Chain A
Amino acid sequence: MLKLKDVSKTFHGKENIDAVKHVNLEIQEGEIFGLIGFSGAGKSTLIRMINLLERPSQGQVWIDGIELTALNEKELRKIRKKIGMIFQHFNLMRSRTIAQNIAYPLKRRTFWRKNDPEAWSKNEIQQKVAHLLKLVELEDKANAYPSELSGGQKQRVAIARALANDPKILLCDEATSALDPQTTQSILKLLKQVNQTLGITIVLITHEMGVIKEICDRVGVMEDGEIKELGNVVDVFADPKETITRNFIATTSNISKIYELVKQRSEITVLRPGERMVLLSYNTINTNQALISQISRDYEVDANIIFGNIEVLQNKPLGRLVVIFSGKEENIASAIERLKAKEVKVEEIETW
């Protein structure tokens, strides 16, 4: 439903900056698509090109078979009403109450718009706002001002406002980056609910892998204005191809710490003769079996799990374990072969 065709954006200044370079991207109806990247990767520019807050220097933006990049300002404004957007700093109007903020994007029926079929009467607006307030669970705050709300509540208001014109797409620009972890969870839950109950396609950008992990179906990893890696969240997590992706994944798991411990010759990483330390990575296909206890029995090796990280992504477990095997050399070798046969990725960790 949403298609970016070869879009680029160059900012002209003292130096020209290529913020986004030849990005091709297709987003399906009803999915939650996440773009992750460090600041300066171009993700913010990219998401702004979807509703043309930034006009691409090159390329086309298509939504539902309409080329946005070919529309004039007036037509574009009409389409924008069907693309909701929320921001890192909420961007609510201080001078308006919560109810008035949510009603802002609704076209009011006025004297000179008496017969406009898209205009809303006062009554209709009131009902719509009440409905939206209920959706974001802020019924009691209708007449409060934004300054009286917490960050999480402000973002809820922003979501309600973004949904006022029943959009098909919701763009989230670092929507949880200014929130604490707990509030982030509740906002993500609300977004997921919006996606599932209203069928709204969500495109979000973030620098937190946790957000991607929590709600996204697919993820794109951005660096230097390009999408370096793209795929299902589970696939990308289970088998990252690019260094930048691995770095992001490392931020949400503690497994990379083992290498530091090895470097520091931490006690737990010191091996006795005959022992081997390996990193096992496994995903859905092989997690149903009690593999470790099985091989331990079958090959008479002891498996000492010293470090581990197990994620549940889209209801599928994804694990990484650091294990020290001890036993007869040939037994350890056969045990490892057995693991490999079960499609567990085995990486030897070199120690001193």
Chain B
Amino acid sequence: MVELLIQIFPNLAKLGDEFVEAIGDTLQMILFSGAASFILGTFFGVVLIVTRKNGILQNRLIYNVLDKAINVIRSIPYLILMMMIIPLSRILMGTGIGVKGAIVPLVFGTVPFFARQIETAIAEVDKGLIEASQAMGSSPWEIIFRVYLKESIPSIARVTMVTAVNLVGLTAMAGALGSGGLGDFAIRYGYQRNMTDMTYASVIVILIMVSIIQMIGNLIIRKTSH
């Protein structure tokens, strides 16, 4: 098995350890920035829904500020956004490079996109349901958790899956700014040293990651749709 791998990927023999480390780095980046983005994105998505016009906590100021901020951040090309955020990352994480330095830029790249996705997912909840729960004396807090979020679990699973796949792409791009991980690995060896086999190896691992994310997502959607 190992022999076969080395035949197909000749450079894996000497770069094996580094490759495994790169996979670990990528997983760490996905996990940490993914968790942070999920929480923040869900929060902002919910804020968008409840503060919009005729929302349960309608607030024009909050809605407009958040709405515009998301649009602005989303319109900045990610490579440039990453560079812009390095100083902020230094303040928050103490460094601008490596896995630790990549988390903040990744969160910035993911949250606005995810918040929009969550907004769309929750917007699918029938407004009759909201009316019914208001009529039953539910508080805004209850409506958010027991109706909006609970009812849109399948949709949230779907958009989380899409965003997670997106995030895998971003971690690879973060490699260009020295974040470590598979993107960095593929650039340094596959591109700069012309070890094409290492590029393919990275791609294959990323492909597997994406497939696993999609499998989990589809499973959740299937289990929660009625």
Binding site for B on A (CB under 8 A): 51, 53, 74, 77-81, 83, 85, 87, 89, 91, 93-96, 104-105, 145-147, 161-162, 165, 171
B154, closest chain A residue (CB): A95
Provide the residues of chain B in CB contact with A85, threshold 8 Å.
132, 135-136
Within 8 Å by CB of A95, from B132, B137, B138, B151, lies: B151
Q: B115-150 vs A: 1/0 string, CB under 8 Å?
A: 000000000001011011111111100000011001
Give the number of residue pairs across the A-B interface with Cβ within 8 Å: 56
Known A80-B135, A80-B137, A147-B226: A91·B147 in contact at CB below 8 Å: no
Q: Is B211 an interface residue (CB 8 A)?
A: no
Provide the residues of chain A in CB contact with B150, threshold 8 Å.
93, 95-96
A80, closest chain B residue (CB): B137
Provide the residues of chain B in CB contact with A89, threshold 8 Å.
126, 128
Known A81-B136, A104-B146: A91·B126 in contact at CB below 8 Å: yes
Number of residues on chain B facing chain A (CB within 8 A)? 19
Provide the residues of chain A in CB contact with B126, threshold 8 Å.
89, 91
CA distance A332 to B147 in the complex (A): 70
Within 8 Å by CB of B147, from A51, A81, A93, A145, lies: A93
Is the pair B137, A93 in contact by a Cβ cutoff of 8 Å?
Answer: no
Question: Could you list 27 A-B pairs, sorted by A, with CB under 8 Å?
Answer: A53-B135, A74-B139, A77-B138, A77-B139, A79-B137, A80-B137, A81-B136, A83-B135, A85-B132, A89-B128, A91-B128, A93-B147, A93-B151, A94-B151, A94-B226, A95-B150, A95-B153, A95-B224, A95-B226, A96-B150, A104-B146, A105-B136, A105-B138, A146-B226, A147-B226, A161-B136, A171-B135
Binding site for A on B (CB under 8 A): 126, 128-129, 131-139, 146-147, 150-151, 153, 224, 226
CA distance A290 to B91 in the complex (A): 99
The distance from the CB of B128 to the nearest CB of chain A, in whole angstroms, is: 4
Is the pair B132, A87 in contact by a Cβ cutoff of 8 Å?
Answer: yes
CA distance A147 to B139 in the complex (A): 26
Provide the residues of chain A in CB contact with B136, threshold 8 Å.
80-81, 85, 104-105, 161-162, 165
Provide the residues of chain B in CB contact with A104, threshold 8 Å.
133, 136, 146
Provide the residues of chain B in CB contact with A94, threshold 8 Å.
151, 226
A144, closest chain B residue (CB): B226
The distance from the CB of B106 to the nearest CB of chain A, in whole angstroms, is: 31
